[in-house]
Chains A and B, each alone.
Chain A
Amino acid sequence: MSSSLTFAYYPGCSGQGTSIEYDKSTRAVCKALGIELVDIPDWSCCGSSPAHTVDHILSAALSARNILQAEDMDVQGIITPCPSCLTNLKVASHRMRDEQFKEKVDDLLNEPCRNDLPIMSVLQVIYEKLGPKALAAKVTNPLKGLKLAPYYGCIMNRPPEVMDFDDCENPVAMDHLMEAVGAEVMPFPLKVECCGASFGVARNDVVTKLSGKLLDVAADCGAAAMVTACPLCQMNLDMRQDQINRANKSSHKMAVFYYTQLIGKALGLSDASLMLDKLCVDPGHLFREIETARTADAV
């Protein structure tokens, strides 16, 4: 194996568009942390939500194709930043442990899938393979005083028997990583509540209600910003924040980061490499406050 932390990287479709800043910051952070990402050659869409609502075999085959593509790579496993892609990959792998199911999936592939590579989120790799301590040691610009509500979304840890990572009701991985980069993690209770997910298009009122509640409670907890690990959560909370404010007559101006952006910031990576300018709610003032406090401390 080439290096101790080399993984086949599955960027996912949203990483090419709506959450390009998640993809870019993930790559930048992994590079800085010595985690080598090798893109799965010729990867394809995981099927997202539509595939598995129509056909489990087809849905599994879409993910299995990507797993197959990674099987000849010299890597320790497949990782992806997106919880939805992760769910599809892991559920496919989980279901293929059933021989009969796997046969049907293999029929749809060019060659049978070995299905023996571990599949993890980037978050799990940073948390378990590197760890908060090792991360803290690399921090150059601690995010001192930044009050964060950590929001994991509903599918990162669920169902627990498939996802097999952290607690499914009260996950703490991102909390510990954020503490490691110097931020202050608020006791945000709705860590795994649903944001409304893709209802943003079909039933906007559902998202304004559910995501609105997340913002309300985050603000009540004293958080100045939220930190997420999911492109859809981030989009609902950030891009739709104006819609939410309009619907609920609220006035949130809550920056919503990807956790990779904040780790990158603490590691001293450039704003450009983290694409902070892609966020809809401008987080600039938060970093200026940290900077001001740091200069004051220095004097």
Chain B
Amino acid sequence: MKIGVFVCHCGSNIAGTVNVGSVAEEALKLPSVAFASDTMYACSEPGQDAIIEAIKEHRLDGVVVASCSPRMHEPTFRKTVERAGLNRYMFEMANIREHVSWIGKDKDANTRKAVDLVAMAVAKLTQDRELTPKTFDINKRVLVIGGGVAGIQAALDCADGGLEVVLVEKTSSIGGKMSKLDKTFPTVDCSSCILGPKMVDVAQHPNITLYASSEVADVKGYVGNFNVSINRKATYVDWAACTGCGLCMEKCPSKKSRDVFNEEIGTTTAINIPFPQAIPKKASIDPEFCLKLTKGKCGVCEKVCPTNAIRFEQKQETAEEAVGAIITATGYDLFDYTRYEEYGGGRYADVITSLQYERLLSASGPTGGHIKRPSDGKEPKDVVFIQCVGSRDKSVDRPYCSGFCCMYTAKQAILTKDHLPESQSYVFYMDIRAPGKLYDEFTRRAMEEYGTKYIRGRVAMVYPKGDKYIVRGADTLMGAQVEVEADLVVLAVGAEAAKGAPQLAEKLRISYDAYGFYMESHPKLRPVETNTAGVFLAGSCQGPKDIPTSVGQGSAAAAKVLALFSKDQLESDPQVSVVDIKRCVGCGKCIQTCPFGAIEEMDFRGMPKANVIETICQGCGICTSTCPQGAIQLQHFTDNQILAEVNAICQQTPAQNLK
């Protein structure tokens, strides 16, 4: 076998701490290596051309590139060798950047390790076999999880592109956080006026099936062929019959029910349509507060409903949907504002969250758009905004910046002045972070045109004095302690991962970070992809985002799905397990250990044998280490291939001769 080895400088990334020239020289001494050289950037066009040229000139059977992590460029180089006429699996990568040059400064030691890694890769390549992917049909339907603005955009773009879309929303209406906002920055246009039409489009689009009050219970399958179970929660109303007339809400006697939509500023009725623009505009019953469901007496809604839509006996149902791709747009939740005990959120009625304040500002909110203090209903004169509540604070395990709070605080200060011209707003801030188009101009407007007083410093504590609140903090620009008497204190709470995000990630088999935000496939170059094929991300589930970015990501994820579905068939990964029927004794241990249910028992001339369902196998290799006979082997990672690597590193290698 003739193998070519290419050792990449990666500029100075590798060459800075590895003697790449001598790695190539040592590689050439290995048996089977017919050609070795070092190259400035192996991934560049000239770099790839040089590989192709060498394959042709030296009639190479396989190629080793010693460069970076295969995460990014293994696909690149596989294509390169394919262009030169080799099978794409006759390629191995030795990671001498992340595993060598970036982690050690001792050039000699680094060089020795790089030589070892190259020797391992060469040894494996001698055992590699050509593999050919198979193709399979794909189901061109897409599931969108989450009906916030990112999910809405993704669903509409996919649907407009001709795909059938299944949109699943946890609450009884789509709209997400944006539907709770009064206005949006930096244009101060009405949030529900711009979102409302999109929500209606979702309801009316012939390609979109909407499951509201529903959650994804289980996801099985793989890219192109997912099977999704959806739990449809009991709403106690037959939505096919409900016309959304709202008569039940008028008559419901249980008027102290939790008003989730209004962020619990005020209360609602046990049967309710959360807000006037709700999609679907259907009533649902909160079983915790419904008198009929808790005490067995009442049933007023049942009597007044003109279409007899009330179903007190309704139970949760499960729906099954088959899709080929999934867009996750599950958004974020707000930081728990009671965690800063020094601000008294949850103890003092007039210390509220920014989203609660948004509901006070909204014309469809509990106060009809009049700013009134929750405690006594009076109009506030002095309003203090405290920024970074649950952002950029290691002590509450939220070291990250939530990104949008500076902007919405400026917006709320502007709106406060619009609503109450006599009022004075104060903003305690750490830094103003407004790096968007027209964003910084907007915060300046809040200061300069609207007279908002910006105080740079953290607030130490808030405490009541009479019917006012003393907000004490530092003014770090003046170098002094300041106290502001406030009628209302608004906490600019940060964003955190949506509740249940990690659990959903487990179902989707995607990764999430320490805070529960979903991991994109590459932070720069694959921002809406995940490492699970066919699962995409949009919006704040990946990290806090404002509306424009969320919408952009919704469209981006839709574009990715449309590109994926532009083919009728997909190639399956041939790196799956294969059973050697001669060795298999039919013990079934692999069937028990496979986490994906990819192995089944089959009958072979009257004997039980294991059989791998190639499209379900994820290539994890658990079965190969379970099989007592060594009968099941993961292609491209067979025992022989891995042992060749082990032998290479355990034997006296050229690396040791370098000493």
Does the CB pair B465–A169 fall under 8 Å?
no
Q: Does A189 contact B (CB under 8 A)?
A: yes
Please measure, in the bound complex, the distance between the C-alpha atom of A200 and the C-alpha atom of B190, giving whole angstroms: 57
Q: How would residues 336 to 365 of chain B score, 1 for a CB under 8 Å from any chain A CB and 0 otherwise?
A: 000011101001000000000000000000
Does the CB pair A189–B463 fall under 8 Å?
yes
Please measure, in the bound complex, the distance between the C-alpha atom of A167 and the C-alpha atom of B343, giving whole angstroms: 13
Task: Choose one: B340, B464, B466; the contact of A189 (CB below 8 Å).
Answer: B464
Residues of chain B with a CB closer than 8 A to A189's CB: 344, 461, 463-464
State which residues 151-199 of A face B: CB under 8 Å. Answer: 167-170, 187, 189-190, 193
Does the CB pair A220–B341 fall under 8 Å?
no
- Number of residues of chain A lying within 8 A (CB) of chain B: 10
Residues of chain B with a CB closer than 8 A to A170's CB: 341-342, 344, 347
Does the CB pair B463–A220 fall under 8 Å?
no
Residues of chain B with a CB closer than 8 A to A169's CB: 340-342, 461
Does the CB pair B465–A217 fall under 8 Å?
yes
Q: How would residues 209 to 233 of chain A score, 1 for a CB under 8 Å from any chain B CB and 0 otherwise?
A: 0000000010010000000000000
Does the CB pair A167–B341 fall under 8 Å?
yes
Nearest B residue to A220, CB-CB: B465
State which residues 19-41 of A face B: CB under 8 Å. Answer: none
Please measure, in the bound complex, the distance between the C-alpha atom of A220 and the C-alpha atom of B464, giving whole angstroms: 10
Please measure, in the bound complex, the distance between the C-alpha atom of A169 and the C-alpha atom of B395, giving whole angstroms: 13
Does the CB pair B340–A220 fall under 8 Å?
no
Min Cβ gap B379→A in Å is 24
Min Cβ gap B586→A in Å is 57
Please measure, in the bound complex, the distance between the C-alpha atom of A220 and the C-alpha atom of B466, giving whole angstroms: 7
Residues of chain A with a CB closer than 8 A to B466's CB: 220
Please measure, in the bound complex, the distance between the C-alpha atom of A189 and the C-alpha atom of B464, giving whole angstroms: 7
Please measure, in the bound complex, the distance between the C-alpha atom of A170 and the C-alpha atom of B463, giving whole angstroms: 11
Give the one of A168, A187, A189, A193 with max B CB within 10 A. Answer: A189
Min Cβ gap B24→A in Å is 46
Residues of chain A with a CB closer than 8 A to B342's CB: 169-170
Min Cβ gap A157→B in Å is 10
Min Cβ gap B655→A in Å is 37
Please measure, in the bound complex, the distance between the C-alpha atom of A193 and the C-alpha atom of B344, giving whole angstroms: 14
Please measure, in the bound complex, the distance between the C-alpha atom of A168 and the C-alpha atom of B396, giving whole angstroms: 13
Residues of chain A with a CB closer than 8 A to B347's CB: 170, 187
Nearest A residue to B465, CB-CB: A220
Q: How would residues 78 to 108 of chain B score, 1 for a CB under 8 Å from any chain A CB and 0 otherwise?
A: 0000000000000000000000000000000
Please measure, in the bound complex, the distance between the C-alpha atom of A217 and the C-alpha atom of B340, giving whole angstroms: 21
Residues of chain B with a CB closer than 8 A to A167's CB: 341
Please measure, in the bound complex, the distance between the C-alpha atom of A168 and the C-alpha atom of B344, giving whole angstroms: 13
Min Cβ gap A221→B in Å is 9
Min Cβ gap B433→A in Å is 26
Write the residues of chain A forming the contact surface with B, with a CB cutoff of 8 angstroms: 167-170, 187, 189-190, 193, 217, 220
Query: Which 10 residue pairs of A and B lie closest in terms of their CB atoms, listed nearest first?
Result: A189-B463, A169-B341, A170-B341, A169-B342, A167-B341, A189-B464, A190-B463, A220-B465, A217-B465, A220-B466
Listed by A's residue number, 14 A-B pairs whose Cβ atoms lie within 8 Å are: A169-B340, A169-B342, A170-B341, A170-B344, A170-B347, A187-B347, A187-B464, A189-B344, A189-B461, A189-B463, A190-B463, A193-B461, A217-B463, A220-B466
